[in-house]
Homo-oligomer: A and B are copies of this chain.
Amino acid sequence: MYIAKVVGNVVATKKNDTLMGSKLMIVQPVNSALKKEGPEEVAADFVGAGIGEYVLVGSGSSVRVEEERRRATIDLAIIGIIDDVVV
């Protein structure tokens, strides 16, 4: 998992059926000082995050552990909205 800032979203009309209904956000990984760190990625939004918010991003098969997501072609997801980073 990593901290990221939501910086935008992608629109894709033609896509894998299992992605229908998923909002696809562009996330910029950041460090604990909220400075950019590494390349942007695209994550499905599980928690209703908005542009500009800092979020927790999870990856791999962990984002498909819930029964309703077993058959989703998703390898990256916003799994939390970060209220505070304590360092």
Interface residues of A (CB under 8 A from B): 1-3, 7-16, 18-19, 24, 26, 29, 31-32, 37-44, 46-48, 56, 58-66, 70-77, 79-87
Contacts and interface: CB of A to CB of B under 8 A. Distances in A.
Given A1-B43, A39-B38, A47-B16, A60 B58 contact: no
A84 B11 contact: yes
Contact of A58 (B13, B47, B65, B74): B74
Give the number of copies in the complex: 5
Contact of A41 (B1, B40, B63): B1
> Chain A binding site: helix, strand, loop or mixed by DSSP?
mixed
Nearest to A63: B73
Nearest to A85: B10
A12 to B, nearest CB: 4
